[in-house]
A and B are shown apart, each in its own frame.
Chain A
Amino acid sequence: MGVKKRMSGCVATANAIRLADVDVICSYPIRPYTGIMSELARMVADGELDAEFVLGEGEHGQLSVVYGAAAAGARAFTGSSGVGVMYAMELYSPISGERLPLQMCIADRTLDPPGDFGSEQTDAMCCRDQGWIQGWASTPQEALDISLMYYRIGEDPRVLLPQYACQDGYFVSHILGEVDVPTQAEVKAFLPPYKNHHVLDVKNPMIIGAQIEPQMGPGLQYQRYLAVEGSRKVIEEVHEEFADIFGRKYDPWIEEYMTEGAETVIFIQGGHAETGKTVVRRLRNLGEKVGLVRLRTIRPFPTQQVRECLSRFKAVGVIDNSVSFGIACSAGILLTEVRAAIYDMGDKVKTVGFVAGLGGEMITHDEFYKVFKKLKEVVKTGRVDKESYWLPFEL
């Protein structure tokens, strides 16, 4: 049991990084994640954290710096938002392919054009193919907790993969929440020192990243595939260990909220779930059979768990807080992934996609009510007449 304080998602993440005794941090300012770096800079200056605080020249530089640091054997941290996340794109595959378990915190932000500081999950969602562990925190407490868990998962010798610890910009990164900050002793018990199979060490010299011929290509990718798939087991174990040491139990994959006996549920990722939960409570009070399912880990995607969970409901409204123009089914990424996961259930579970909360707008209570109303209609008619709705314009 640690100390309970009110703090933002940014400050909570910074506390996790401090407790993880990170060695190298690379900063670059971009809203809204900057607060994490400012807090870390203060911690370093005040002697609360002993780390090299490297002033990066840009997001591409940030990821390059921590790539080098992790290869040298140090625990490394960086972060970004919006177009910054895109600028560093070149590095995501090399970092995961070289099996360097550094952590990047993404406080999400809508992409240009034009400039818009508002929250949107698009930036981090664009990175989902790169072989990193990835998930969204919906509260400042969870932001702290996933940063600690992700280092533990990523650095596990069976995994050795980098992680995107995501949180909604402003809604989580800036709004205060109550956070139980663990003690250093608890974290030491939970998170062992970082070790890797390959490090830059003159006593054991290795050549990391030599050019290959295509015949080695499939095998290297398959190794990474096995690592990502193998991480599922580790993710579950680590969540158990976390609960034992810190007393907070999270389902590794999905959080179910008031789903007992529900006929229709919302499937959603990140901080907007908190708003959704309020609407679920109110509808429940009115006797409506509704619930909410929050996706906690998107990579690796919990296909089996999503399948088992959603098979209990009649209609699912999948909320996408990101854009993917031209995607199959014309809604968003989560809709296509959910549909892929529950494909075998055929027509039994109806799914409808809702693109919402873009540009930093809240997903309002009104919008959630409309979603549940639409889902109720789908259950009644047994038909999905339109599979995607862009809120607030359609519906």
Chain B
Amino acid sequence: MTVPYEKIPFAGTVPSPQKENEGMITGNWRTRRPILDAEKCTSCQLCWISCPDSSINLGSETSSLTFNLKYCKGCGICNEVCPVGAISLVPELDFED
């Protein structure tokens, strides 16, 4: 369906996003979901720095890191780079959501 011209911003320019680009939600690409074993995690942050989709949220003193499942594509780099095997990849179909 052709987009009405009044609905298109001036010359197609859009504001830059602040925290996430909802124009391209990619969580539904996943066939495998990363799962963290918090006991094993040493907070080295190697997985965080290696995620092409900026989809690992750092933990804190009290909480472990989390995965941004709205965008995570399930590429599995985090699983590969983790030096202690704290991340495993579980088939996406195993999950309800």
Contacts and interface: CB of A to CB of B under 8 A. Distances in A.
Q: Do chains A and B touch in the complex (CB under 8 A)?
A: yes
B8 A223 contact: yes
Given A205-B15, A206-B15, A207-B15, A218 B10 contact: no
A219 interface: yes
Given A215-B2, A215-B3, A219-B2, A209 B16 contact: no
B1 interface: yes
B14 interface: yes
Nearest to A216: B3
Interface residues of B, number: 14
**Interface residue tally of chain A, by bracket?**
20 to 34
Interface in B18-36: none
A340 B59 CA distance: 69
A2 B10 CA distance: 39
Interface of B: 1-5, 7-8, 10-16
Contact of B16 (A207, A215, A218, A219): A207
Contact of B4 (A99, A219, A226): A219
25 contacts: A98-B11, A197-B13, A198-B10, A198-B13, A204-B15, A205-B16, A206-B16, A207-B13, A207-B14, A207-B16, A208-B11, A208-B13, A209-B12, A209-B13, A210-B14, A216-B8, A216-B12, A218-B3, A218-B5, A219-B7, A220-B5, A220-B11, A222-B5, A223-B5, A223-B11
A97 interface: yes
Contacts of B3: 215-216, 218-219
Nearest 8 A/B pairs, CB to CB: A219-B5, A205-B16, A198-B13, A222-B5, A219-B8, A99-B11, A197-B10, A216-B3
Interface of A: 97-99, 197-198, 204-210, 212, 215-216, 218-220, 222-223, 226
B18 to A, nearest CB: 9
A220 B2 contact: no
A282 B78 CA distance: 87
A215 B1 contact: yes
A209 B13 CA distance: 6
A218 B2 contact: yes
A197 B11 CA distance: 9
Given A197-B13, A208-B13, A210-B12, 7 more contacts: A198-B11, A209-B13, A216-B3, A216-B8, A216-B12, A218-B3, A219-B5
A206 B13 CA distance: 7
A253 B12 CA distance: 31
Nearest to B18: A205
Nearest to B7: A219
Contacts of A99: 10-11
Nearest to A99: B11
Contacts of A210: 12, 14
B12 A220 contact: yes
Nearest to A213: B3
Contacts of A209: 12-13
Nearest to A197: B10
